[in-house]
Amino acid sequence: MGSRREKTQTLGLIGFGAFGQLAARTLAAHFDIRVCDPARAHTTLPCGRSLRMTTLEDAAGCDVVVLAVPVARLRHLCGVIAPMLRKGALVLDVGSVKVLPVRVMREVLPADVDIVGTHPLFGPQSAASGVQGHKIVVCPVRGDRHRQVAAFLRHLGLQVITDTADAHDRELAVVQGLTHLIAKVLVGLGPLPDRMTTASFDLLREAVDMVRDDPPTVLHAIEVSNPYAATVREAFFTGASELQQRLDM
């Protein structure tokens, strides 16, 4: 996947939002990338390199197909592209949750394509200077090409964590669920102090800034589409309520 010998391998990138653009910048040197996003008329990377804007059918017919769309749209998209995928293609998603996307792709996509679930544990802001050193989760779904995917991602400098979709969602219900929950509450409190701050508060502000501009679809995926997020939220608010009661005594 994406080696020097396979430099002409085609990659269909369906979705060109903030993360789709980051993926394109990262992968442009390794693939012939074809982008499909009805909301965009052209695709030009910051370096000035243009990418091919194409039809959904053409993007879905590539060697590798990356689904960079909101989790809520994934089932519909999979149903549309299923007859367009070539036999032996590799299909990957990049969603913030894994149980639901993995189930959808396994159920809807044809049996003759390989499937790998991925979740980059970073975003356009935290990886603005490059993806090296960041973490990414790889979830095997169908076929054994997850090993090839993991090797390629390590070649890019990423730390690869291979695990099941269920294990991913259990951990991320805490890791992302609480981070985004707390950040959204703090954003709602208004401008945070930036003068008399402690080191710990500066780290908290940094965490808030990293997720402040995430689109609503990201929060929905993390808090609603993760089957374990509701339990974590309930435990958090219960703990906060109990602490408030003790402090008010």
| Same domain membership, residue 219 and residue 197 | yes
Residue (of 154, 147, 165, 45) closest to 93 by Cα position:
165
**What is the structure's pLDDT at 41?**
61
Q: 8-17, 48-57, 120-129, 130-139: which range is least confident on average? A: 48-57
Q: What is the mean pLDDT of residues 7-21?
A: 90
**What is the structure's pLDDT at 65?**
99
Rounded Cα–Cα distance for residues 138 and 160 (Å): 7
| Same domain membership, residue 129 and residue 54 | yes
**What is the structure's pLDDT at 215?**
86
Q: Is residue 8 pLDDT above 90, yes or no?
A: no
Q: Is residue 19 pLDDT above 80, yes or no?
A: yes
Q: Is residue 4 pLDDT above 50, yes or no?
A: no
Bridge partners (DSSP) listed for residue 159: 135
Rounded Cα–Cα distance for residues 107 and 118 (Å): 17
Tell me, what amino acid is at 233?
Answer: R
Tokens encoding 219: 């929060």
User: 124 phi and psi, to 5 degrees?
Assistant: -55, -35
Q: Where are the beta strands (DSSP E) in the chain?
A: 10-14, 32-36, 52-53, 64-67, 90-93, 114-120, 135-142, 159-162
Q: At what angle do helices 74-81 and 99-108 cross, to 10 degrees?
A: 20
**What is the structure's pLDDT at 3?**
53
Number of compact structural domains in the chain = 2
**What is the structure's pLDDT at 48?**
56
Residue at a domain's end among 163, 192, 217: 163
Token match 């790998």: residue? 116
Tokens encoding 6: 């396979």
**What is the structure's pLDDT at 47?**
56
| Same domain membership, residue 118 and residue 226 | no
What is the tens place of the pLDDT at every residue in 157-174? 999 999 999 999 999 999
Contact in structure between 69 and 77 (CB atoms under 8 Å): yes
Q: What is the mean pLDDT of residues 15-43?
A: 88
| Same domain membership, residue 151 and residue 42 | yes
What is the tens place of the pLDDT at every residue in 192-213? 999 999 999 999 999 898 888 8
Residue at a domain's end among 163, 185, 214: 163
Q: What is the extent of the structural domain holding 52? A: 4-163
Q: Is residue 42 pLDDT above 80, yes or no?
A: no
**What is the structure's pLDDT at 46?**
55
What's the predicted TM-score (pTM) here? 0.90
| Same domain membership, residue 243 and residue 132 | no
What is the tens place of the pLDDT at every residue in 91-109? 999 999 999 999 999 999 9
Tell me, what amino acid is at 33?
Answer: I
